[in-house]
Structures are given as C-alpha cells and as structure tokens.
C-alpha cells in the first residue's frame, strides 16, 4: 500500500467559515497517483471540523444557524476560565467532527450525488491546517 500526504493551510477572515475544499482534495488525490483506496481529510485543530455535504449556500447557512443554536457563544462556559473565549467553537467541532474518510475508485473521489468536502472553521482569523492523507494502490 502507498500513501501520500499534504497539508492545507487556512487563515479565515471570519470567526466561523465553511470552505469547500473538494477541489484541493481532488488535486492531492491526482498528485498521489493512487487509483484505489481512501482519502483521510482531518482538521488538526480542536476548534475546526471537516464534513461531507451539499454545496448549496442555503444549506450552509442552515448548518451554521443549527450549530449556533446547539452550541451558542456564551460567556459562561467553564472553559473561558482559562482565559479563552472559544468554548462554543470546541462544542461545534465535536458536533461536526474533525475528519472524514472518502473512498477512492478509479482515481476519483467516490461520492454520492451532490457530496462535497468542507472545512468548517469555528474559531478563525488565525492560521490552521488540515491533513489530507491518501492511502491505497
């Protein structure tokens, strides 16, 4: 089995952003030369996540609203006693999760209809990274 790894770096302009990284994942997969296997895409920060869903703007706004409802910003989080103010970002990351695995078939991401890979930033405006690791033959 072969493997290939690259890192994607992000510095978002907003505190919360959802970035479609499908094209970057496809580029890395093509560069890897792997035709059959899988791609692991994982946020390397505990206030960010990676997910697979539709690339429809209304849905992205609905996801953001839903996450803010489930884990709203509040000054009362115990985590904030440490001097941080991102307790909600940690919770949002747990809900979204930090990684996805996408199958690779015939050298392509083997998605269902409409599926795309997104990087979800919940505590942005500073440099963060995502690992993309392709495994297979």
pLDDT at 26: 98
Structural domain count, the chain:
1
- Kindly indicate the confidence band of residue 24, based on its pLDDT and cuts at 50, 70 and 90: very high
- Kindly indicate the confidence band of residue 37, based on its pLDDT and cuts at 50, 70 and 90: very high
| Range list of β-strands (E), the chain | 2-10, 17-20, 37-43, 48-54, 99-105, 108-109, 115-121, 128-136
Residue 15 token pair: 């505190």
Predicted confidence (pLDDT) per residue in 99-120, tens digit: 999 999 999 999 999 999 999 9
Domain assignment of residue 70, given as a range = 2-136
Residue 68's contacts (CB-CB under 8 Å, 6 or more residues apart) are 88
pLDDT at 112: 95
Q: Could you tell me the CATH number of the domain that includes residue 108?
A: 2.60.120.460
Mean pLDDT score, 85-105: 97
């Amino acid at each position: 089995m072969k493997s290939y790894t690259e890192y994607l770096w992000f510095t978002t302009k907003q505190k919360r952003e959802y970035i479609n990284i499908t094209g970057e994942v496809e580029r890395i997969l093509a560069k890897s030369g792997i035709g059959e296997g899988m791609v692991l895409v994982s946020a390397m920060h505990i206030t960010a996540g990676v997910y697979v869903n539709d690339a429809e703007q209304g849905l992205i706004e609905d996801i953001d609203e839903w996450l803010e409802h489930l884990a709203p910003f509040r000054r009362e989080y115990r985590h904030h006693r440490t001097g941080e103010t991102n307790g909600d970002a940690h919770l949002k990351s747990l809900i979204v999760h930090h990684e996805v695995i996408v199958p690779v078939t015939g050298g392509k991401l083997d998605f269902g209809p409409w599926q795309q890979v997104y990087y979800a930033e919940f505590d942005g405006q500073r440099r963060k990274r995502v690992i993309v690791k392709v495994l297979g033959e």
